[in-house]
Amino acid sequence: MTPEHGLLDWGIVTIFVTVYAGMILGGLPRLKLDRSGVALLGAIAVIGVGAMSTGQAASAVDLPTVLLLFSFMVVSAQMRLGGFYTAVTHRVAALPLGRNALLGALIGVAGVLSAVFSNDIICLAMTPLVAHLCLQRRLDPVPFLLGLACAANIGSAATLIGNPQNMLIGAVLQLPFGGYVRQALLPVALSLGLLWAWLVWASGREKPGDTCGAAMPADLPEGFGTLQAPPFDAWQTAKGLAVATALMLIFLFTDWPREVAALVGAGVLLLSRRLHSSDVMGFIDWPLLVLFIGLFVVNHAFESTGLAGQAVVWLAAQGVHLADPGVLLVAGVGLSNLVSNVPAVMLLLPHLSGPDAGVTLALVSTLAGNLLLTGSIANLIVVDLAQKSGVAIDWRMHARVGVPVTLLTLGLLWGWLRWPG
């Protein structure tokens, strides 16, 4: 190794460590940068120091993953603009159910919708409505909001399109969509049941007054009655549902590349005489796409130093193999809560192979997001929007639900992984 090459490797390592410090901290001290800004700056630095050319940086980006993520953001935008999520939440809230049954219905709906339309999107669309309707019915909104966040995370693990990290795992390891769903569906469904059971037990028995039709309390937050939500548009909703259903059928029963099919579906939705493309694009999570692109470049540069491969070989010599489900579970949970699940998956993926490792990583990294408030963007979305609705949720309140639910669901997953056959 020449001195120049060694110096370059140290420069890459410095950039890599700085970027992942930003992932842990949520930004860099004294700078107005969030995680996406840090990842973008890291990619610029890698190119700037000469570690990669612009062409090599472009090649480092897993384009199928980015296209699939973008396409489903368009589908979800269509559903939000069509008022679908608003209508579904109101339908659930209008059911003549007691508190515990209503909580179960909300968890089930959030879990199912997140498996198709992404956990972050479901939390963005449903949180203000859930807070509003709970306060209107004189129900404590905190268990419902925490249930929404946890259910969205758990439910998103059921498919390879439910969250960004699953999209990445499916694209890189070429996992079959139907095969993954068959393996993930049972542990996800049981995990949703565990979530409901814990919330019911932890928040006490159902009270006689916890029924629908309660009058609006007098101490609601200012502006409560002026909640803005997209009106229901039957045609736009039907159009979005038709595309989403078609994509699910294509994923399940054909070999058509998922990113191509999803991109065509997004194109169909953009062909509209009523919804302006700029309105749809306003719902695209551009910072998340930038985060993906930046981390692809930084991680690829770090892989080129050979240090990651050497670390894996050293661990294997100590008897620690990432192919071992137990090791992968611990590594996935630890890294997901240290740097967030998407960066964690990007770090682990190059050292994994085979569908079993992919399924394990997808489930572990997603379920681990419920452990801490900062473990998932969906959690932060719920807390932020709840506060704007006058409902305060701090990290302690989240931990009282998130920690036991995560331990229970990971224990369930471990038993499922160890089950013979």
- From CA 2, how far away is CA 201, in angstroms rounded? 63
**Mean per-residue pLDDT, 117-141:** 88
pLDDT of residue 209: 44
pLDDT of residue 208: 46
pLDDT surpasses 90 at 273: no
Split at pLDDT 50, 70, 90, the class of 5 is low
pLDDT of residue 420: 57
- From CA 361, how far away is CA 168, in angstroms rounded? 11
Number of H helices, E strands in the chain: 20, 0
**DSSP element (H, E) containing 133:** helix 119-136
Are 17 and 299 contacting, i.e. CB atoms less than 8 angstroms apart? Answer: no
163's tokens: 């969250």
Beta-carbon contacts of 28 under 8 Å, excluding residues fewer than 6 positions away, are 18, 21, 22, 38
Give the tens place of pLDDT for each residue, 353-405.
777 899 999 999 999 999 988 788 888 889 988 988 888 898 889 999 999 99
142's tokens: 């905190």
**Mean per-residue pLDDT, 303-314:** 86
Split at pLDDT 50, 70, 90, the class of 409 is very high
User: Alpha carbon 140 to chain centroid distance?
Assistant: 26
Buried b (16+ CB within 10 A) or exposed e, 164-187: bbbbbbbbbbebebeebbebbeeb
- From CA 348, how far away is CA 328, in angstroms rounded? 9
What secondary structure letter does DSSP report for 232? P
- From CA 76, how far away is CA 60, in angstroms rounded? 27
Give the tens place of pLDDT for each residue, 205-232.
444 444 433 333 444 444 444 456 678 8
Comparison of pLDDT for 318 and 203, the residue scoring more: 318
pLDDT of residue 2: 59
pLDDT of residue 288: 87
- From CA 256, how far away is CA 180, in angstroms rounded? 16
Buried b (16+ CB within 10 A) or exposed e, 366-376: bbbbbbbbbbb
**Mean per-residue pLDDT, 32-47:** 93
Rg (CA), the chain: 22
Give the tens place of pLDDT for each residue, 172-201.
999 999 999 999 999 999 999 999 999 999
Q: What Å distances lie between residue 414 and 185, 323, 376, CA to CA?
A: 15, 14, 21
pLDDT of residue 250: 95
289, 294, 295, 301: CA torsion to nearest 10: 150
pLDDT of residue 182: 94
34's tokens: 């969030």
Percent of the chain's residues with pLDDT above 70: 92
Residue 284: how many other CB atoms lie within 10 Å: 15
Mean pLDDT, all residues of the chain: 87
pLDDT of residue 320: 84
Are 269 and 75 contacting, i.e. CB atoms less than 8 angstroms apart? Answer: yes
**Dihedral sign from CA coordinates of 371, 372, 377, 380:** positive
pLDDT surpasses 80 at 239: yes
**DSSP element (H, E) containing 259:** helix 258-270
- From CA 308, how far away is CA 20, in angstroms rounded? 14
Nearest alpha-carbon partner for 74 in 240, 233, 229, 232: 240
pLDDT of residue 219: 47
pLDDT surpasses 90 at 101: yes
Helix (H, G, I), strand (E, B) or coil at 272: coil
The answer to which of 53-57, 122-126, 219-223, 344-348 has the lowest mean pLDDT is 219-223
Read off the pTM: 0.86
Are 381 and 390 contacting, i.e. CB atoms less than 8 angstroms apart? Answer: no
